[in-house]
Amino acid sequence: MLLGRFLYRGRIARAVVEEQSVRFLSGPYKGKSTSLTDVKILTPCKPSKIVCVGLNYRDHAEELGMPIPEEPILFLK
């Protein structure tokens, strides 16, 4: 079973993929199905922030000539 977010007729809805179709689980088309070719597949979620870890492996720090941090370096994107 594959769950996801899809754009269909200008609306975003959650749906489950079944063979070559999607069955909507939310929104105005809830309970209805349509062909997988009729929808645009969207990212599973739309995060407002992404937390990243800098110099997250030894080789990367060495490549940049930087000391290996004792604690994680976090930044947002």
Q: How many domains does the chain have?
A: 2
Report the candidate in 30, 36, 1 with the shortest Cα–Cα distance to residue 13: 30
Exposure of 6 by Cβ count < 10 A (0-12 exposed, 13-18 middle, 19+ buried)?
Answer: buried
Identify the pLDDT of residue 39.
98
| DSSP β-ladder status, 33-35 and 40-41 | unpaired
User: Do 25 and 51 belong to one domain?
Assistant: no
What's the distance, CA 75 to chain centroid? 19
User: Do 6 and 37 belong to one domain?
Assistant: yes
How large is the average pLDDT for residues 59-72? 89
The yes-or-no verdict on residue 61 having pLDDT over 90 is: no
Give the CATH number, domain containing residue 28: 2.30.30
pTM over 0.85: no
Render pLDDT for 30-43 as a digit per residue (tens, 0 to 9).
999 999 999 999 99
Q: Which domain holds residue 57?
A: 47-77
User: Do 52 and 35 belong to one domain?
Assistant: no
User: Do 7 and 37 belong to one domain?
Assistant: yes
